[in-house]
Amino acid sequence: MSRFCFICNKPLSKSEIVTVNLGMKTLINASIERGDEFTDYLKDQKSVKVHVECRKNYTRKSTIAAVKRKREEKQASASKVSPPRARTRLSESAFCLKSCCLFCGDQLNEEYEKKRAKKYRRRICKVSTLTFKESVLKVAQSRSDDTAKIVVARIGFEHDLVAAETRYHNDCYISFLKPTNGGKVGRPLDEALNLAMEKIFTYIENSNDDQFTLEELKNVCKNSNIDNRTIKRRLKLNYGDKVIITEKPGKSTLICLIDNHRDTLNQSRSEKQKSNGQEERFKILEDAAPIVGEDIQSVIINNSHYTPPGRIFENINGHILESQVYFIIKKTINGSI
Ligand SMILES: [Zn+2]
Ligand SMILES: [Zn+2]
């Protein structure tokens, strides 16, 4: 799970946080309505951690409405050259992106879906990102079957799928994403992505470097199916404002971890401190050893006769050296060492 709140991009350690499980749908809907780039990410997750305040703000109806209004104003000013009405009429004459599913071509009927039993109900989605068309075209290219050709024909002349209010069945979209060789792709693709990203994160966190190229990271995960955009988005979600992604046309994309180095340094430093404590203890013992040893060697022992076994414990303290008593009794028992 991400260590950063995807909404504000700040670490989750700051201020109150909440784990969203059942509310995922609300977040996804908010993302779709906002038309931001988090929809795909949220659909991948079973739960997310976010700040309580961020979630409230993100799903608040009035805030969403404001975002939508802003977007519509932007779109209106961008499409002055060809008024929306003319474009809608043009697409309606061929295929109605708004009322028919982009993928299967069937009429979309939300009222009808609502009346159906829950398990048969089909989710109807609206295209909310400008990159949707690009990714559909990419999938179509890799499929190159009849379905793909039809879909390409439907969206080929539509410049802006968001403005055309393009809609589709979610299950149709999911099966469109599946490769035509029949392999299951829905969940497994997500898992492959998660696995690949885990590899990348581990690589970054174990590296002494704090700068990587996108190609380098792609080589690490050995999964060529993951596009650059997804990697960059996941990096941002995982590292938040600790990661800086620099892109220059014609040059390789650079990924910089700002705090990576410092964190690693701190970590190795604290490890050193731990071992320092141990080292110091041995050093004291080592320093004391020659003194005690010297005293032991300096004792003159009368070896012309042996103490009879019965008298061995007589005057026992007299045989112990002053330094030994000091070292053992005073230092160890009083707890100085
Ligand atoms: Zn937040
Ligand atoms: Zn459909």
ipTM: 0.52
Q: How far is the CA of 152 from the centre of ligand 1 (A)?
A: 38
Q: Where do the domains of the chain lie?
A: 1-78, 81-183, 188-260, 271-333
pLDDT at 186 over 90: no
Distance 105 CA to ligand 2 centre (A): 6
Neighbours of 111 (CB within 10 A): 6
Ligand nearest, relative to CA of residue 51: 1
Q: What is the pLDDT of residue 333?
A: 56
What average pLDDT does the segment 320-335 reach?
Answer: 64
> With left for phi above 0 and alpha for psi between -120 and 50, is residue 35 left, alpha or beta?
left
Most confident of 44-58, 108-122, 141-155, 271-285: 44-58
Ligand nearest to the CA of 99: 2
Å from CA of 238 to ligand 1 middle: 13
Q: How confident is the model at residue 275 (pLDDT cuts 50, 70, 90)?
A: low
Q: Which ligand is nearest to the CA of 100?
A: 2
What is the whole-number distance in angstroms between the Cα of residue 152 and the centre of ligand 2?
A: 15
Distance (Å, whole) CA 72 – CA 149: 31
CA of 259 relative to ligand 1 center, distance in Å: 20
How much distance in Å is there from the Cα of 108 to the middle of ligand 2?
8
| Beta-carbon count within 10 A of 32 CB | 19
Taking the centre of ligand 2 as the mean of its atom positions, its distance from the CA of residue 26, in whole angstroms, is 23
Residue whose C-alpha is closest to residue 7's, from 160, 15, 123: 15
pLDDT winner (highest mean) among 2-16, 84-98, 127-141, 283-297: 127-141
Residue 212 CA to ligand 2 centre (angstroms): 42
Whole-number Å distance, alpha carbon 263 to ligand 1 midpoint, is 22
Residue 228: pLDDT band (50, 70, 90) is confident
CA of 41 to the centre of ligand 1 (A): 16
User: Residue 108: what pLDDT?
Assistant: 92
Report the separation in Å between the CA atom of 163 and the middle of ligand 2, taken as the mean of its atom positions: 20
pLDDT above 90: residue 322: no
Domain 188-260 coded CATH 1.10.10.10: yes
3-state SS assignment for residue 18: strand
Site of tokens 């979309």: 108
Q: Which ligand is nearest to the CA of 123?
A: 2
Contact (Cβ atoms closer than 8 angstroms) between residue 220 and residue 199:
yes
Question: In this structure, which ligand is nearest to the CA of 52?
Answer: 1
